[in-house]
Amino acid sequence: MREAALEPPIVSLRAGAVVLTFQLPGMAPGKTPGKTPAAILKLLKEEPDLSIPELAVRLHKSQSAIERAIRRLRELGRLERVGPAKGGSWKVLE
């Protein structure tokens, strides 16, 4: 692994299982690659009625990752919910 400039895996135990976590080069631990917030904004510009589960499926992300990204976009003033949680839509703010 050292020859390929890769860090050794992190070994941990969870619920009776051994979990190996491999660090990709150039990535901070706990971070995922990609531009999830930008992808969310792009999709919601085209289809503002998409739900969080639908966004998760289309972006191949977990619902919690989508919720975190949406929370951040709302804090930054880039995204707004119009109408109720069920039946409402999203408004992308520039």
CATH second-level architecture of 36-92?
A: Orthogonal Bundle (1.10)
The size of the chain, in residues, is 94
Q: Structural domain boundaries of the chain?
A: 36-92
CA–CA distance, 67 with 62 (Å, rounded to integer): 9
pLDDT digits (tens, 9 = 90+) for 10-32: 888 888 889 888 776 655 555 55
pTM for this structure?
Answer: 0.63
51: closest CA among 24, 84, 89, 82? 89
CA–CA distance, 17 with 7 (Å, rounded to integer): 22
How many CB atoms within 10 Å of residue 4? 6
Is the pLDDT at 35 greater than 70? The verdict is yes
